[in-house]
Amino acid sequence: MRRKIFDRLVQWKNESRGASALLIEGARRVGKSYIVEEFAKKEYDSYVLINFSNTSSKIKNLFVNDLHDIPMLLQKLSNLTFTRFFERRTLIIFDEVQKWPRAREAIKFLVADGRYDYIETGSLISIHENVKDIVIPSEEEKVKMYPMDFEEFCWALGDEVTIPTIREHFELKTPLGDDVHSSILDTFRKYMVIGGMPQVVKEYITTRDFSKVERIKKQIIDLYKEDIGKRTRVNKRKTAALFESIPSELSKHDKVFKITDVDKNGKFANYEDPIYWLEDSMIANLCYNASAPNVALGLNKDLSTMKIYSGDTGLLVTLAIDMNVSTEHEIYIDILQDRLHINEGMFAENVVAQILRSRGHRLFFHAFYKEGGDGKSSKNRSEVDFMIRSGNRISVIEVKTGRSTLHSSLDHLMDKYTKHLGQCYVLHTKDLRKERDLLYLPIYMAICL
């Protein structure tokens, strides 16, 4: 299936010309190995893919015993893989490189040799267990790979028209009209339910059977649980509890993660490592509370107050079913027929978080207490869903899934922080419209932000 990262690989090849290796990070089953092998087949005369999850000890030992003689190491690698290497026309792929850190360390010497190109793929690349006792090569260029975005999902369906239409109307700030809007929204709802894991999307395209789609998603979640099960005993328990709590935490009205919901006597400091592991594995996207809506969002973030979104909304749907937050039938029908209840608004908010993160935005929300006419702060907590940088200003985003489009929190910020804010948005399931300084966008236009 067509993926945007392919163009990034071509760009790296043409610009680097062997001066650096490319390291692709991404969650399990996001399609890293597939796209890199497709790239190798189309762009090189020969390639070898070494999967360090199951490769032979003979190959692994090359990166322990032969680093002093790189030409000999490469000759042995050619022989052991029965692959002829061509200078500047061969790609060597280290798949699941986190399983054998010595190979990652060898990149420095392999790149210096200069004859071949190198791509590394893996998950949990920066977790300390995978980098201790090695020197991380400065010759790496890093790129993150996310689940298929809505445009890639449309491509997979054979649809080359929808996304250009969305972008055109976003740029012109004109509504699409009822028929076009309803058609695009139907496709977007399918994307929410199915998600962007390539194997899942392929199953849907092949069978159009949601029960088979659900089976594949459960298999992927089981893989994630297996990875969690390989952690140390203490962190295994805590990480599993965090992962399984994502649907229930997001189903709350404020969606803010609370350690005490997972562990009655828990403290945030004891859960920092499991939280970091979920983010580093790219299983989850963290959204931090920023104390002020200005361009220094990262400097104003409260590390102890966050929301934990699933890295893929389709997997969140399945996880919610597994955790008995709702039933498969209820969730599928509610999403596909635009009947989301309050606690199911998490799916809409999650898909927006997923889109923003894949577009390179760091995720922040803003919680605050409004001041009354007497100058005293209200006891009722208010918040806006997302804040993103837009040039030297901040765009505030509210996600609305019900019939009500009230946004008093957003109005308050727009009045109080006029100098810091750029265009602000309400994402909902209706067509585009503009009211004064506020732009109402159909939720699928999050891809334009």
Place of tokens 């890295």: 311
pLDDT of residue 306: 92
Provide φ and ψ at 441, rounded to 5°. Answer: -120, 145
Q: Which residues does the chain have with pLDDT short of 70? A: 125-133, 324-327, 329, 340-344, 371-379, 402-406
pLDDT of residue 341: 63
CA separation for the pair 428, 5 (Å, rounded): 29
Query: Cβ(378)–Cβ(368) under 8 Å?
Result: no
Query: Where on the phi/psi map is residue 25: left (φ > 0), alpha (ψ -120 to 50), or beta?
Result: beta
pLDDT of residue 131: 66
33, two tokens: 């190995």
CA separation for the pair 138, 121 (Å, rounded): 16
Give pLDDT tens digits for 309-330.
Answer: 999 999 999 999 887 666 676 7
Place of tokens 């594995």: 281
CA separation for the pair 124, 32 (Å, rounded): 13
pLDDT of residue 343: 61
DSSP structure string for 222-286: HHHHHHHHTS-HHHHHHHHHHHHHHHHHHTSSS----HHHH-TT--GGGGHHHHHHHHHTTSEEE
pLDDT of residue 57: 96
